[in-house]
Chain A
Amino acid sequence: MKNITTLISIILVSFPTLVNSQSIVTTKHNLSVSGLGAIKATTENEICIFCHTPHNSTPKAPLWNRNVNGGTYTLYNSSTLNALPGQPDGSSILCLSCHDGTIALGDVVSRATPITMSSLKITGKSNLTTDLSNDHPISFAYNAALAASDGQLKTPPLSVVSLDKNSKMQCTSCHDPHKETNPKFLVASTQFSALCLQCHNKTYWGSSTHKTSTKTWNNAGTSPWAHVTAPYANVTQNACANCHDPHNANGKARLLKYLPEENNCLDCHNGNVATSTKNIQAQFAKTYKHNVAGYTGTHDPIEANAVTTKHVECADCHNPHASNATTAVAPFVNGTSIGVKGINQAGNAVAVATNAYEICYKCHAGNSWAPAPALPRQIVQNNVRLEFATTNPSYHPVVGARNDAEITPNLVSPNTASTIMYCTACHASNNSADPKGPHGSTNQYLLKLNYSTAYTGTTGITESATAYALCYSCHNRTNIIGGSNTFREHNKHIVGERAPCSICHDPHGVSSTQGSLSRNGRLINFRTDKVTPDSGGRLYWQDDGARRGRCYLTCHGKNHSPLTY
Chain B
Amino acid sequence: MKTQKLITLIAVAFITVVSFGQTIVGSAHDFKAASWNASGEICKTCHTPHNAVTGISAPLWNHQVTTQTFTLYTTAVSPTFNGTTAQPDGSSKLCLSCHDGVTKVDNFNGVTTGTTSITGAANIGTDLSNDHPVSFLYDAALATADGGLFNPAVALSGKGSTITADLLLANKMQCSSCHDVHNGSGVNNLLVKTNAASALCLTCHNK
Bound CA span A7–B206, Å: 24
Contact A47/B132 with A4-B3, A11-B10, A23-B207 known, Cβ cut-off 8 Å: no
User: Chain B, 191-207, contact with A by CB distance < 8 Å: what is the 0/1 string?
Assistant: 00001111001100111
A179 within 8 A of B: yes
**Shortest CB distance A254–B (Å):** 31
Closest to A23 in B: B207
* Sample of 10 more A-B contacts, CB < 8 Å, known A45-B196, A48-B205, A62-B81: A11-B10, A16-B206, A46-B198, A48-B198, A56-B121, A56-B131, A57-B130, A61-B77, A63-B130, A165-B79
Chosen A-B contacts, 28 in total, with CB atoms closer than 8 Å, are: A1-B3, A16-B155, A17-B202, A23-B202, A23-B206, A24-B207, A25-B197, A25-B202, A45-B196, A46-B195, A47-B201, A47-B202, A48-B201, A48-B202, A48-B205, A48-B207, A52-B201, A55-B121, A55-B124, A55-B131, A55-B132, A56-B121, A60-B77, A60-B78, A61-B80, A62-B78, A62-B80, A179-B207
Using A61-B81, A62-B80 as known contacts, say yes or no to A47 and B198 having CB atoms under 8 A apart. Answer: yes
> For this complex, into which size category does the number of interface residues on chain B fall?
20 to 34
**Chain B, 118-133, CB within 8 A of any chain A CB:** 121, 124, 129-132
A14 interface residue (CB < 8 Å to B): yes
CB of B2, distance to nearest CB on chain A (Å)? 10
Which of chain A's residues have a CB closer than 8 A to the CB of B201?
47-48, 52
With A34-B197, A46-B195 in contact, is A58–B207 under 8 Å at CB?
no
Assess whether B156 is interfacial by the CB under 8 Å rule: yes
> Which B residues are CB-close (under 8 A) to A17?
202, 206
Q: In this assembly, does B148 line the interface, its C-beta being within 8 Å of a C-beta of chain A?
A: yes
- A62, B207: Cα distance in complex, Å: 14
Contact with A along B100-140 (1 / 0, CB 8 A): 00000000000000000000010010000111100000000
* Closest partner residue, chain A, to B79 (CB atom): A165
Q: Compute how far the CA of A193 lies from the CA of B131 in the bound complex, rounded to whole angstroms.
A: 40
**Which residues of the partner chain B approach A55 to less than 8 Å between Cβ atoms?**
121, 124, 130-132
> B residues 127-181 with Cβ under 8 Å of A?
129-132, 148, 150, 155-156, 178
B129 and A60 form a contact (CB under 8 A): yes
**Bound CA span A447–B77, Å:** 68
User: Does residue B73 face the partner (Cβ distance < 8 Å to A)?
Assistant: yes
A272 interface hit (Cβ, 8 Å): no
Q: Collect the chain A residues with CB atoms within 8 Å of residue B207's CB.
A: 23-24, 48, 178-179
Contact of B178 among A54, A56, A61 (CB under 8 A): A54
B205 → chain A closest CB, angstroms: 8
CA distance in complex: A91, B150 (Å): 23
| B7 proximal to A (CB < 8 A) | yes
Bound-state CA distance A55–B130 (Å) is: 6
Check if B196 sits within 8 Å of A46, measured CB to CB: yes
Q: Kindly provide the distance from the CB of A180 to the nearest chain B CB, expressed in whole angstroms.
A: 11
Chain B residue with the shortest CB-CB distance to A55: B131
The number of residue pairs between A and B whose CB atoms lie closer than 8 Å in the complex comes to 77
Enumerate A163-211 residues with CB–CB distance to B below 8 Å. 164-165, 178-179
CA of A378 to CA of B72, assembled, Å: 87
Question: In the complex, what residue of chain A is closest to B206 when comparing beta carbons?
Answer: A17
Interfacial chain B residues near A11, Cβ < 8 Å: 10
CB distance from B200 to the nearest CB of A (A): 9
Binding site for B on A (CB under 8 A): 1, 4, 7, 11, 14, 16-17, 20, 23-25, 32, 34, 45-49, 52, 54-58, 60-63, 164-165, 178-179
Shortest beta-carbon distance, A383 to chain B, in Å? 59
Question: Once the chains bind, are B130 and A32 in contact (CB under 8 Å)?
Answer: no
B169 to chain A, nearest CB (A): 17
Complex contact B197–A58 (CB within 8 A): no
Which A residues touch B156, using CB under 8 A? 14
What is the CB-to-nearest-CB distance from B192 to chain A, in angstroms, rounded to a whole number? Answer: 13
B125 to chain A, nearest CB (A): 8
Residues of chain B from 60 to 100 with CB closer than 8 A to chain A in the complex: 73, 77-81
Q: Please, how many angstroms separate the alpha-carbon atoms of A48 and B200 in the complex?
A: 10
Q: In the complex, A34→B196 CA distance in Å?
A: 10
Q: What is the CB-to-nearest-CB distance from A178 to chain B, in angstroms, rounded to a whole number?
A: 4
Give the nearest-CB partner of B133 in chain A.
A63
For the complex, what is the distance from the CA of A25 to the CA of B129, rounded to whole Å?
27
> Please, how many angstroms separate the alpha-carbon atoms of A146 and B162 in the complex?
48
A63 and B132 within 8 A (CB): yes
Q: Once the chains are docked, how many angstroms separate the CA of A14 from the CA of B13?
A: 15
Q: Which residues of chain A have C-beta atoms less than 8 A from B121's C-beta?
A: 55-56
Nearest B residue (CB) for A1: B3
CB distance from A179 to the nearest CB of B (A): 7
Within 8 A of A (CB), among B1-45: 3, 6-7, 10
Q: Give the nearest-CB partner of B131 in chain A.
A: A55
> Chain A CB within 10 Å — which of B78, B130, B156, B202 has the most?
B130
Q: Which residues of B contact A60 (CB under 8 A)?
A: 73, 77-78, 129-130
Inter-chain contacts of B130 with A (CB < 8 A)? 55-58, 60, 63
For residue B13, give the distance in angstroms from its CB to the closest CB of chain A.
10
A4 to B10, CA, bound (A): 12
Cα A61 to Cα B156 in complex, Å, equals 27
Per the bound structure, the CA–CA distance linking A24 and B207 in Å amounts to 6
Q: Which residues of the other chain, B, contact A49 by a CB distance below 8 angstroms?
A: 198
Best-surrounded residue of B10, B198, B206 (most CB of chain A within 10 A): B198
Instruction: Find chain A residues with CB under 8 A from B198 CB.
Output: 32, 46-49
Smallest CB gap from A14: residue in B: B156
B132:A7 contact, CB within 8 angstroms: no
Question: B202 touching A54 by the CB < 8 A rule?
Answer: no
Whose C-beta in chain B lies nearest to the C-beta of A4? B3
Q: In the docked arrangement, what's the CA distance between A11 and B202, Å?
A: 17
Whether A61 touches B78, Cβ cut-off 8 Å, given contacts A45-B197, A46-B196, is yes
Give Cα A47 to B77, complex, Å. 23
Q: Report the minimum CB–CB distance from B9 to chain A (whole Å).
A: 12
Distance, CA A531 to CA B62, complexed state (A):
119
Per the bound structure, the CA–CA distance linking A61 and B178 in Å amounts to 19
The residue of chain B having its C-beta at the shortest distance from the C-beta of A20 within the complex is B206
Chain B residues closer than 8 Å to A46, beta-carbon distance = 195-198
Output the residue of A60, A164, A179 with the most chain B CB within 10 A.
Answer: A60
| Shortest distance from the beta carbon of B163 to any chain A beta carbon, whole Å | 13
B148 touches A178 (CB 8 A): yes
Q: How far is the CA of A48 from the CA of B198 in the complex (A)?
A: 6
Q: Which of A14, A32, A52, A54 has the most CB of B within 10 A?
A: A54
